Structure 1
Amino acid sequence: MTHQDLAERPGIAAAVIVHEGRVLLVRRRVGEGRLSWQFPAGEVEPGEAREAAAVRETREETGLEVASVEQLGERVHPNTGRLMSYTACEVLGGTAHVADAEELAELAWVALGEIPRYVPYGLFEPVQQYLDEALRT
Structure 2
Amino acid sequence: MSPTTAPATAAAPTSGGPGAARRVAVAVITDGLLALTVLRRRAEKDLAWQFPAGKIEPGITVTAVASLGERVHPTTGVHLSYIACTLAPDSGPASLASPQEISGVAWIEHAKLPGLFDSDIYEPVLRHLGLTPKAGKP
Normalised to the residue count of structure 2, the TM-score between the two structures is 0.74
- Distance in 1 between residues matched to 2:108 and 2:117, nearest whole Å: 11
Corresponding residue number in structure 1 for 2:111? 113
Corresponding residue number in structure 1 for 2:26? 14
Q: Which runs of 5+ in 2 are unaligned?
A: 1-15, 132-138
Letter in 2 for 1:117: G
**Any residues of structure 2 matched to 1:94-133 within 5 Å, and which?**
94-132=92-130
1:78-136 CA distances to partner (integer Å, 9 max, x unpaired)? 01101001000111211112111111100010102211231143200000010117xxx
- Distance in 2 between residues matched to 1:25 and 1:69, nearest whole Å: 18
Residue 34 of structure 1: CA displacement? 2.1
Stretches of 4+ moved more than 2 A in 1? none
Alignment CA distance shift 1:109-1:78 (3 Å) = same
1:37-70 CA distances to partner (integer Å, 9 max, x unpaired)? 001101xxxxxxxxxx6xx2xxx1x711112110
Q: Which runs of 5+ in 1 are unaligned?
A: 43-52
Name which of structure 1's ranges 114-123 and 98-107 shifts more when overlaid on structure 2: 114-123
**In the alignment, is the contact (CA less than 8 A) between 2:48 and 2:118 conserved in 1?**
no
Corresponding residue number in structure 2 for 1:48? none
Corresponding residue number in structure 1 for 2:135? none
Report SS of the residue matched to 1:128: helix
CA RMSD of aligned residues (A): 2.2
Normalised to the residue count of structure 1, the TM-score between the two structures is 0.75
**In the alignment, is the contact (CA less than 8 A) between 2:47 and 2:119 conserved in 1?**
no
Corresponding residue number in structure 2 for 1:70? 66
Corresponding residue number in structure 2 for 1:49? none
Given candidates 57, 62, 84, the residue that maps to 2:80 is 84
- Distance in 2 between residues matched to 1:126 and 1:32, nearest whole Å: 23
Corresponding residue number in structure 2 for 1:27? 39
**Bigger helix fraction:** 1
**In the alignment, is the contact (CA less than 8 A) between 2:46 and 2:118 conserved in 1?**
no
Report SS of the residue matched to 2:130: helix
Letter in 1 for 2:104: E
Between the two proteins, the alignment pairs up a number of residues equal to 114
Residue 20 of structure 1: CA displacement? 3.0
